[in-house]
């Protein structure tokens, strides 16, 4: 199993978390995903390493102008 943690700026509420989680599920084959707007993180468990470029592109295109993916 591979654990990937993303820092995501701009999540304000549980709906933001849900949008991020749904986007991750639609782009990658994963075991689980959990986002926290209070921590500003998304933790993803997968069988193999993720296509981080595709994941970043999808997250940045959620029509949320304040959202930014930060370096780990």
The pTM score is: 0.82
Tens of pLDDT, residue by residue over 11-49, are 999 999 999 999 999 999 999 999 999 999 999 999 999
Sheet holding 32-36, edge to edge: 32-36, 41-46, 2-9, 68-70
Position 63 scores a pLDDT of: 59
Position 68 scores a pLDDT of: 64
Tens of pLDDT, residue by residue over 48-63, are 999 988 898 888 888 5
The domain over range 2-70 is classified in CATH as 3.40.50.300: no
């Amino acid at each position: 199993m591979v654990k990937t943690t993303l820092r995501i700026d701009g999540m304000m509420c549980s709906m933001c978390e849900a949008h991020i989680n749904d986007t991750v599920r639609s782009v990658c084959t994963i075991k689980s995903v959990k986002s926290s707007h209070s921590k500003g993180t998304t933790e993803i468990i997968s069988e193999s390493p993720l296509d981080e470029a595709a994941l970043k592109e999808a997250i940045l295109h959620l029509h949320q102008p304040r959202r930014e993916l930060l370096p780990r």
